[in-house]
Structure 1
Amino acid sequence: MLSYNSIKELVDAAKAEGCRISEICLKDQAKKMGSTEEQVFKSMEQCFDIMCESAEWGEQKGRKSTSGLTGDEGYLMSQYAKNGGGLMGQPMARAVSRALAVSNCNAAMGKIVATPTAGSCGILPGCLITAYEDRHLDKKDVVMSIFTAAAFGMVVAEKASIAGAQGGCQAECGSASGMAAAALVELMGGTPEMCADALAIAIANQEGLVCDPVAGLVEIPCIKRNGSGVVIAFSSADMALAGIEAKIPADECIDAMREVGDAMSRDLKETATGGLAATPTGKRYREMVFGA
């Protein structure tokens, strides 16, 4: 069985069996859960269906957070995408709108899939729903790619952290972008090594990202960071697919992320006492919500 102690373990196992990382993860999880591969796949398919529902719900007009601080980001971006998508083009604008929409759903206390956390819940759906609906990829392949994302996420959780309170937002949005990038690479026919490179590139691009939620709520700047995380995931995946190596191995990138998180001030780890949360406007928003 897999230990999920390193990305190298997953890559080597996939190479040895001549298969995708998702396939070895599915097989391993079925054994550990005492279930069949078909049952485990079906459970993951339900998760993907929920991602799609969350994105659709969040893109509707009038979806406001319970605090009243945010809302309609997904709707506004989806309308922008329908009009050509601006500088990024329609497919990428659609991916961003879905990421924002799922984050809106989370802020409004709707149902989401934490991938790997609620604060970073929009990144993987934004990437994979776009691959499924806009690129018309096979649903089975899309669902299978989530197993690769999950396997890599388990390694990150084991070697570093996926919690903003422990490692800053690099542990949440950084991990999510890396997981999504790896899934995208597999979907596009990339090798296990390319999946690892994509993860490494995405993590390196968000190393040091702090967690400074305004008013202590997963809204500002969290929702917009999910939108940016999607772009990082796609660009990291494309670089890896182009044959660009990360240079620093994925496992070492994860180790570096842990070290940076450990060195980070507690004010920048979900305490809402530093960064954007401590700005005059951030403090004013807190007073609006909590009255003090």
Structure 2
Amino acid sequence: MDIARSGEELIKICEENSISLSEYAIRREMEDRDLSREEVISKMKKTLDVMKSGATEAREKEVYSVSGLIGGDAYKLQEYLKKGKSLTGDTMVLAMAMALSSSEVNASMGRIVACPTAGSCGILPAVILTAGEKLGKSDDDLIKALFASAAVGMIIGRNATFAGAEGGCQAECGSASGMAAAAVVEMMGGTPKMSLDAAAIVFKNILGLVCDPVAGLVEIPCAKRNSSGAVSALCTVDLVMAGVESKIPFDDALSAMYKVGKSLPAALRETGLGGVAATKAGLILKKKVFGDEN
């Protein structure tokens, strides 16, 4: 099977072979790694299990980062969810709680899946697990969704970047949200083209998001951006499943994201020298972590 080098090629390959994004990713992994289908599925099952753990741990107990800057928020959201009085509904609150949980586990040096990065590790698990629970999907369905996200991720990695240091937070949380939205669209019966439309809409909505970690740590504002990224993905799924298309194709939206990221000044690309990291409060928090040494 041919290798897709763009979103357009990915859609064409899927249509010509009458396969889904997830099936494309499975076949590519089998060919690239010389593995059987069972081996490929088994590896992804392990990934799913780690994601489940990370998305659950900090909702069941308060988990704090090594620096002490963040922690306990996933637990607060989970308790809020139990009250049944949320404005945006249980699905959104659960997704935010799951995203924060993985982020807090990451910052506490716990075990997570850096998909596509550690800084954006909460988005994909939160979106897929929340959607799976809402839609009554099995683990097999969730595994397929992860493969669907991987198909989109391969195109992002080939043509742009996942690194905040290179493309800002739009490259991290933006990519994670786009991959997640694409995966859930497939989970809900959407076509590959619809999945890529979802990713394109996410890119457009997050275009220009800077990477400005307070004290240089992947904690503030990163954790909360994971929760908002999860919400963005889920909202975009509903847009696309309602029949809304992206007027800007996936490849163009991805190209724009990459060019915008390259245009960002160094202070806004993970250096911790701009954005909220350079605010009065941000500098106080930095001093709290490192003292006067910085």
What band does the TM-score fall into relative to the shorter chain? over 0.9
Measured against aligned partners, the alpha-carbon deviations of 1:231-289 in whole angstroms (never above 9, x if no partner) come to: 10011111111111110000000000111011100000000000000000000000000
- Aligned mates of 2:71, 2:60 — CA distance in 1: 10
Residues 100 and 226 of structure 1 are in contact (CA less than 8 Å); yes or no, is this contact kept in structure 2? yes
Identity in percent: 46
- Does 2:156 align with 1:156? yes
Question: What one-letter code is carried by the residue in structure 1 that aligns with 2:31?
Answer: K
Partners in 2 of 1:276 and 1:2 — Cα distance? Answer: 44
Q: CA deviation at 1:158?
A: 1.3
User: Quick check: 1:85–1:92 contact (8 Å CA) kept in 2?
Assistant: no
2:191 aligned partner: 191
Say which SS state the counterpart of residue 62 (structure 1) adopts. Answer: coil
Any conservation in 2 of the 1:60–1:72 contact (CA below 8 Å)?
A: no
Paired residue type of 1:183: A
Report the alpha carbon displacement of residue 4 of structure 1 after superposing the two structures with TM.
4.0
The match for 1:110 is 110
Are 1:254 and 2:271 an aligned pair? no
User: Which residue number in structure 2 is paired with residue 207 of structure 1?
Assistant: 207
Question: Quick check: 1:4–1:151 contact (8 Å CA) kept in 2?
Answer: no
Does the Cα contact within 8 Å between 1:95 and 1:130 map onto a contact in 2? yes
Write the letter of the residue equivalent to 2:234: F
Distance 2:248 2:8 in 1: 13
| Structure 1 residues 194-273: aligned runs within 5 Å | 194-273=194-273
Please, what TM-score do these two structures have when normalized by structure 2?
A: 0.97
SS in 2 for 1:219: coil
Cα distance in 1, alignment partners of residues 58 and 104 from structure 2 = 6
Paired amino acid for 2:22: S
Is 1:58–2:58 an aligned residue pair?
yes
Structure 2 residue 69 is the aligned partner of structure 1 residue 72: no
Q: Does the aligned pair in 2 maintain the 1:85–1:93 contact within 8 Å?
A: no
Alpha carbons 1:4, 1:158 under 8 Å: kept = no
- 1-structure distance, mates of 2:262, 2:5: 19
Partners of 1:233 and 1:161 lie apart in 2 by: 19
Query: Following TM superposition, by how much is the alpha carbon of 1:132 offset from its aligned partner in structure 2, in angstroms?
Result: 2.5
Change (3 A) 1:85 1:35: farther
Q: 1:1-47: CA deviations, max 9, x gaps?
A: 44342111111111111121110110111011011011011101110
Equivalent residue letter for 1:277: A
Give structure 1 regions of 4+ aligned residues with deviation exceeding 6 angstroms: none
Letter in 1 for 2:56: E
The 1-side partners of 2:63 and 2:222 are apart by 16
Tell me if the contact between 1:211 and 1:269 (Cα under 8 Å) persists in the aligned partners.
yes
**1:29 lines up with 2:45 in the alignment:** no
Q: SS in structure 2 opposite 1:288?
A: helix
Report how far residue 61 of structure 1 moved. Answer: 2.6
CA displacement at 1:81 relative to structure 2: 1.2
Do the aligned residues in 1 keep the contact of 2:4 with 2:13 (CA within 8 Å)?
Answer: no
Corresponding residue SS for 1:102: helix
For 1:140 and 1:115, the matched residues in 2 are separated by: 19
Counterpart for residue 95 of structure 2: 95
Are 2:138 and 1:138 aligned?
Answer: yes
Q: State the one-letter code of the partner of 2:284.
A: R
* Separation of aligned partners in 1, 2:263 and 2:158: 18
Equivalent-residue separation in structure 2 for 1:179 and 1:210 (angstroms) = 19
Residues 124 and 179 of structure 1 are in contact (CA less than 8 Å); yes or no, is this contact kept in structure 2? Answer: yes
Supply the distance in 2 between the matched residues of 1:128 and 1:94 (Cα, whole angstroms): 11
1:174 partner amino acid: G
SS of residue paired to 2:113? coil
Aligned to 2:11: 11
8 A Cα contact 2:196 2:250, kept in partner: yes
SS of 1:117 mapped into structure 2: coil
Matched to 1:6, the amino acid is: S
Cα distance between partner residues in 2 of 1:127 and 1:85:
21
- How many residues align? The count is 292
> Which runs of 5 or more residues in structure 1 are unaligned?
none
